[in-house]
Chains A and B, each alone.
Chain A
Amino acid sequence: MSPAMLGLLLDAFLETLLMVAVSSTLAALVGVPLGVVLVATSPGHIREHPLLNRVLGAVVNAGRSTPFIILLVAIIPFTRLLVGTSIGTAAAIVPLTIAAIPFVARLAEAALREVDPGLIEAAQAMGASPMQIVTKVLVPEALPGLVAALTITVVNLISYSAMAGAVGGGGLGDLGIRYGYQRFLPEVMLAVVVVLIVLVQGVQSVGDRVAQRLNKRLVRSRPNA
């Protein structure tokens, strides 16, 4: 591969990193609280609210059932409103974030639901407010699950970001399509795929390790035990 091609590959790699990093951070910031609300407002939970729960659930489901490629073009006016353009890496971050939010919300909801109801009851018996139950019990106890959920989200976003080429978003997927496929340069295609595999592998193993480190439910042998 020529040095010019390597330069393109590096640029594409950085674009992918940027898109994924920004969109997963934003998606986590909105999606996790949304997951908390979905759990807390569910029947029998700390802030039961059937109507809000049903409406939010429907919105989240709608978001999740829209194919990403359709979402990408459907929200172009919104993207333009937000970042001033519908083309480029910054523009790709908007649909990526919006697609990831409901995904994170559902995964966070599942992780938070795993928290033993007995712990919530114990916290209530201690006089905890609903907000304190969220910050002191639900989130800390679900943290390993939340980290696992975010890992899955990042991996998914890496794969979604490949489609961002459709709006000129750049990134590895875009490079693979334009050079590897359209210009028939199989070595570029191969390089793109290898980089993606390494990236996903890396994200997954870091995520797994962090989740495991946070999980205190399993007895680990410790040197001074």
Chain B
Amino acid sequence: MIELRDLTKTFHAEGGPVHVLKGVSLAIPRGEVFGVIGRSGAGKSTLVRCINLLERPTSGRVVVEGREITALRGRALREARHAIGMIFQHFNLLSSRTALDNVALPLELAGRSRADARAAAAPLLELVGLAGKHGRYPAELSGGEKQRVGIARALASEPSVLLCDEATSALDPETTQAILTLLRDINRKLGLTIVLITHEMPVIKEICDRVAVLEHGEIVELGPVFDVFTSPTAEVTRRFVRDLVDRALPANLVARLAAPPEAGGNPVLRIVFRGPSANTPVMAEVVRRFGILLNILQAQVDYIQGEPYGNIIVEAIGRAEDVAASLEFIRSKDLKVEVLGHVAGDARAVA
């Protein structure tokens, strides 16, 4: 359990104070994978650093597993940090130590002998899939392997929390996927709470249970990933989500869309499927039952946390009363449908 209460952080720069965090409150239950997304400069890096006090918040409290971290200093703070693992965008491995010795480092810092620490580090390298690479130096490892070493190192002191600071931002998409899968496995196997910050929507979509959207040092949106993604309310969230689930309409369609229904014009509908409804052949049923034609202008199905989410834009061709009945039917199936506008029937020929 991680609790952030009214965190603020103000940096004093030459041009005056910069308010990086403006009262952030969060509660992250044990075992959750919690994502924080924001654009660069939103304050997400500062936020995650406040959890282990790499940055001391200007005001507010941080409580991890019932212990108020913000009340600790010196030795007590260092002890508390053993229970909070962290991985970094640029891995931050010691170039002078082998993979095994990097993983052993936190144990040595906790006062164990080097031999003892090494013995404890070996199974961790196996856990992250680097069994044969004990003696390799970071320079001899790929980016993905380095991050695996980073993860093993973060797990060495058996933390209850793992902080991930843009942990996949320096990796290619395929390696990102592999690292996220590993994090998910670790989360399930060890019951670790994971707090992950990123500017990449796919990362959140892939492994997070809940997400907070940070903008100008404030949380503008917070909730289960599926809800935030499929019905974003904040402008910044919409922008993040756009490429993923809410793609913009093609420009030539927008140009032809007319708001008022005109004679001979066909309505353009956006139908949103989510959850189980995405698995039923509603479209086919509409066509068969109401005798209208559906001309698909844009379609997309995505999976968020394994749940399907579809977004289809169609031009409905048919008699007005049949189209109205179709809309009614679609709504009765728990699908969201909205009329975006109308296109003139003859304009189609032009397009």
B329 within 8 A of A: no
- Interface stretch, picked from A24-32, A121-129, A154-162, is A121-129
Chain B contact-residue range equals 20 to 34
**Residues A127 and B82 in contact, CB atoms below 8 Å apart:** yes
A183 interface hit (Cβ, 8 Å): no
Report how many residues on chain A are interfacial, defined by Cβ distance under 8 Å: 25
Beyond A216-B137, A217-B139, whether A123 also contacts B109 by CB under 8 A is: yes
Is there a chain A Cβ closer than 8 Å to B81's Cβ?
A: yes
Q: Are A122 and B81 in contact (CB under 8 A)?
A: no
Chain B residue nearest to A139 (CB atoms) is B96
Asked if B78 lies at the interface with its beta carbon under 8 angstroms from chain A, I say yes
Q: A116 at interface (Cβ–Cβ under 8 A)?
A: yes
Asked if A62 is at the interface (CB within 8 A of a chain B CB), the reply is no
- Residues in B whose Cβ lies below 8 Å from that of A128: 78, 109
The number of residue pairs between A and B whose CB atoms lie closer than 8 Å in the complex comes to 71
Assess the B94–A219 pair: CB atoms within 8 A: no
The 8 A CB mask of B32-76 against A (1 = contact, 0 = none) is 000000000000000000001010000000000000000000010
Chain A residues within CB distance 8 Å of chain B: 116, 118-119, 121-129, 132, 136-137, 140-141, 143, 214, 216-219, 222, 225
**Does B303 sit within 8 A of A, measured CB to CB?**
no
B97 touches A127 (CB 8 A): no
- For B90, the chain A residues whose CB sits under 8 A away are 118
Binary interface encoding of chain B residues 150-168 relative to chain A, with 1 for a CB under 8 A from any of its CBs, else 0: 0001000100000100000
Chain B, residues 88-125, CB within 8 Å of chain A (1/0): the string is 10101111110000000110111000000000000000
Contact A136 B78 (CB under 8 A): no
Q: Are A126 and B140 in contact (CB under 8 A)?
A: no
28 contacts between A and B (CB under 8 A): A116-B92, A118-B90, A119-B92, A119-B93, A121-B54, A122-B86, A123-B109, A124-B81, A125-B54, A125-B81, A125-B84, A125-B86, A126-B82, A126-B109, A126-B157, A127-B77, A127-B79, A127-B80, A127-B110, A128-B109, A129-B78, A132-B109, A136-B105, A141-B94, A143-B96, A216-B137, A216-B138, A225-B140
Other A-B contacts than A122-B92, A216-B96, 19 sampled, CB-CB below 8 A, are: A118-B88, A118-B92, A123-B109, A125-B54, A125-B81, A125-B163, A126-B81, A126-B82, A126-B86, A126-B106, A127-B109, A128-B78, A132-B109, A140-B97, A141-B94, A141-B95, A141-B96, A216-B95, A217-B139
In Å, the complex CA distance between A141 and B137 comes to 13
Residues 230-261 (chain B) with a chain A CB within 8 angstroms = none
Q: How far is the CB of B126 from chain A (nearest CB, A)?
A: 20
Q: Which of A122, A123, A124, A216: most chain B CB closer than 10 A?
A: A122
* Known contacts A119-B92, A216-B137, A217-B139; A126/B97 CB under 8 A: no
Q: Which of B78, B82, B85, B96 has the most CB of A within 10 A?
A: B96
Closest to A133 in B: B109
Given A121-B54, A125-B52, A132-B109, is A214 in contact with B78 using a C-beta cutoff of 8 Å? no
Q: CA of A201 to CA of B292 in the docked complex: distance in angstroms?
A: 91
Q: A121 to chain B: which residues have CB within 8 Å?
A: 54, 88, 92
| B67 → A minimal CB distance (Å) | 14
**Cβ-defined contact, B96 with A218, below 8 A:** no
Min CB–CB distance A95 → chain B (angstroms) = 35
Whether the pair A140, B94 counts as a contact (CB closer than 8 A) is yes
Nearest-CB residue, chain A, relative to B110: A127
Query: What 0/1 pattern do residues 188 to 208 of B give for CB contact below 8 A with A?
Result: 000000000000000000000
Q: Are B96 and A214 in contact (CB under 8 A)?
A: yes
Contacts of B52 in A (CB 8 A): 125
Judge whether A216 and B92 touch: CB under 8 Å: no
Task: With a 10 A CB-CB cut-off, give which of A126, A128, A132 has the most chain B CB atoms.
Answer: A126
The complex places the Cα of A119 from the Cα of B95 at a distance, in Å, of 10
**Whole-angstrom distance from the CB of B99 to the nearest CB of chain A?**
11
Residues of A within 8 A of B92 (CB): 116, 118-119, 121-122
CB-CB nearest in chain B for A137: B94
Residues of A within 8 A of B96 (CB): 140-141, 143, 214, 216
Q: Chain B residue with minimal CB distance to A117?
A: B92
| A residues near B93, Cβ cutoff 8 Å | 119
Minimum C-beta distance from A214 to chain B (A): 7
Distance in Å: Cβ of A112 to nearest Cβ of chain B: 13
A121 and B137 alpha carbons, distance in the complex (Å): 20
Contact of A218 among B78, B97, B105, B139 (CB under 8 A): B139
**B147 shortest CB reach to chain A, Å:** 13
Given A125-B52, A127-B78, residue A216 in contact with residue B139 (CB < 8 A): yes
The reply to whether B81 and A119 contact each other, CB–CB distance below 8 Å, is: no
Distance to closest chain A CB from B151 (angstroms): 13
Complex CA–CA separation, A143 to B75 (angstroms): 28
Q: Which residues of B contact A219 (CB under 8 A)?
A: 139-140
